Amino acid sequence: MKKECVTMLLAGGVGTRLGLLTKNLAKPAVPFGGRYRIIDFALSNCLNSHMHTVGVLTQYSPLELHKHIGVGKPWDLDRMEDGLTILSPFTEKDGGSWYLGTADAIAKNMNYIEGYDPEYLIVISGDHIYHMDYDKLLQHHKEKEADVTISVVEVPWKETSRFGILNTTENLRIYEFEEKPKNAKSNLASMGIYIFNWKVLKNYLVEDAKLSSSNHDFGQDILPAMIGDDRLLYAYRFDGYWKDVGTIESYWEAHMDLLKEDLSLSLNNNDWRTYSHDSNFAPQLIEDTAVIQHSLINNGCVVAGSLDHSILFENVEVSEGSVVKQSILHPGVCIGKNVLLDRVIVQENVTIPDGTKIVASREEEPIIVSSHNLKAVHS
C-alpha cells in the first residue's frame, strides 16, 4: 500500500568512542536519562510526529536492541498495515554482505521502501538526544520543493571540526558539504537527519552502488554527488536541544544537561513524551538518612546515602554513608556503605563494595565502571 513518507532509522552504529558502554551493545541501545535507551528519543519523535512507517536498520551487537524494540509497541508502532520493521543485513541467492555505509544500508533495503511507493524518505539516526517534529521538517521540504532537506543545528565555532558542516547561501540552499573541516566557513552542523525525494535518491543509490571507490555514505558520497549535479539541497534550522552522545564525555554531559532547570528539552513535557519499556518496579524509597539534590531517580531505587547531580536508573540501591556526585548509575547497580563516587558511570548490575572510592578529576574523562575493571579504578 502507498505511504507518502517512509522513515529509515539508522541504528547499526558501533559507537567505538563510547568505550565500555558499547562493548556488548549497539550504541542506540545504551541506557540514557534514567529510564530510556538512546534510540527511544528517535522512536518517540516518530510517534509524536505521526511517522508510522519506520524501518530500523540494525547491524552491530543487535540482541539487546532487538529485544528492546520488539514490534515497536511502546511507540505505538505495532500496526496492522505498516508500523515498525527491523531491517538487519541478509543474504540472497547470490550472496550478501554487511551494510557497508549509511547509503548502502538504505540501498540494500530498497524492496522494503518500494513496497510503500513513497514520495519522501526520511533518514534519521538512533544515537542523538533531541525532541523534534519530523512532520514540520517534511512540510518545510515540500514548501521549498527541494530534492533534499537536511536538518542543521548551530554549534559553537570551536567545535565545528567535530561535525559535518554545511555551507549555505543566505536562503539556506546548500552549496558545499564539509566533513569535519579544520577551518569551517559555517557553524551549521548536519544532525544526520535527511529528507529525500525518494525517486531522486533512488537513482543516486543505484549509481553509487556501482562505484567500488565509494564509501557508500550519505555525507561522503551521496550528498556531494547531488551538490555536484546542482540538485536543490536546503538546510532546515533546528533550534531545540540536540546532543550527539558519541563520546563518554558528551554522554556524561548530556546527563548533566538533564538536571538543568532551563533546558529546552523537558522529559516532563506531556505534549512530547519520550516512551520506553517499563519493568514495573515499585516506586523509589527514600530513607530518612538520604540527602538528595539535583538528581533524577527512577522506580525501584532505594536511597539511604547522599546524591548530588546524579542519575539513577531503575532498581539502584545507594546505602547509608555513601556519597554519589556527578555520576550515572545504570539499572540494578548496588552501592555499598561509605562509598564515594565522583564523575563515574557504573554499568548495569555492578555491585560497588563498602568503602570503595572512585573519583575522576574534572580534567579526566568520566570513569566507566564494569564488574571487570572494578579493582583497577578504585583509588
Partner 1 sequence: MDTMMGLINLEHEHDFLNELTYFRCGAAVPFAGRFRMIDFTLSNMAKSNINEVAIFTRSKYRSLMDHLGSGADWDLDRRHGGLFILPPDWNDPTDISKGDLSHFHNNRDYFERGKSDYVLISGSQFISNTVYHKLFQHHLETGADVTLLTTTYEELHPEHNACIKVKVDEDGSVLSLTNDAKNPHVFSGVYVLRKSLLLELVDECIANYSNHFFLDGIKSNLDRLNIQSYHYDGYSSIVNSVDSYYRHNMALLDRKSYNSLFSNEENVLTKVGNQAPTKYSGLSKVSKSLIATGCVIDGQVDNSVLFRGVNVSEGAVVKNSIIMQRCNIEAGAHLENVIMDKDVTITKGQVLKGAKEQPFVIAKRRKI
Widest pairwise Cα distance in the chain: 68
Alpha-carbon gap, residue 2 to 339, rounded angstroms: 58
Q: Which of 284, 338, 351, 373 binds partner 1 (CB under 8 A)?
A: 284
Element (H, E) at 7: strand 5-10
Nearer to partner 1, 103 or 297 (CB): 297
319 binds partner 1 (CB under 8 A): no
Q: From the CB of 34, what's the least distance to partner 1, in Å?
A: 4
Cβ pair 106, 205 in contact under 8 A: yes
Q: Which of 7, 28, 32, 35 binds partner 1 (CB under 8 A)?
A: 35
Place of cell 567535530: 162
> Which residues pair with residue 124 across a beta bridge?
9
| 99 marked among binding-site residues | yes
268 binds partner 1 (CB under 8 A): yes
Place of cell 530510556: 36
Take residue 89 and report the three cell numbers written for it: 543485513
Nearer to partner 1, 91 or 268 (CB): 268
47 binds partner 1 (CB under 8 A): no
| 164 marked among binding-site residues | yes
Contacts of 228 (CB under 8 A, 6+ apart): none
349 binds partner 1 (CB under 8 A): no
| 305 marked among binding-site residues | no
Binding mask 247-266 for partner 1 (x = CB under 8 A): ------------x-x-----
The count of other CB atoms within 10 Å of the CB of residue 5 is 20
74 binds partner 1 (CB under 8 A): yes
Q: From the CB of 297, what's the least distance to partner 1, in Å?
A: 5
Nearer to partner 1, 19 or 321 (CB): 321
Alpha-carbon gap, residue 294 to 370, rounded angstroms: 25
| 190 marked among binding-site residues | yes
| Strand pairing report for 83-87 and 91-92 | unpaired
Take residue 152 and report the three cell numbers written for it: 542543521
Q: Which of 298, 319, 347, 370 binds partner 1 (CB under 8 A)?
A: 298
Q: From the CB of 38, what's the least distance to partner 1, in Å?
A: 15
307 binds partner 1 (CB under 8 A): yes
Nearer to partner 1, 120 or 251 (CB): 251
Nearer to partner 1, 171 or 270 (CB): 270
Give 70-125 as a 3 state SS string: CCCHHHCCCCCCCEEEEECCCEECCEECCCCCHHHHHHCCHHHHHCCCCCEEEEEE
Q: Which of helix, strand or coil describes residue 232?
A: coil
Among 58-66, 174-182, 198-206, 292-300, the segment contacting partner 1 (CB under 8 A):
292-300
Of the candidates 240, 127, 141, the residue with the CA atom closest to the CA atom of residue 192:
127
Cβ pair 125, 57 in contact under 8 A: no
Nearer to partner 1, 162 or 309 (CB): 309
**Could you tell me which residues are annotated as the binding site for alpha-D-glucose 1-phosphate?**
99, 164, 179-180, 190
Residues near partner 1 (CB under 8 A): 33-35, 74, 259, 261, 267-268, 273-276, 278-290, 292-300, 302, 307, 311-312, 315
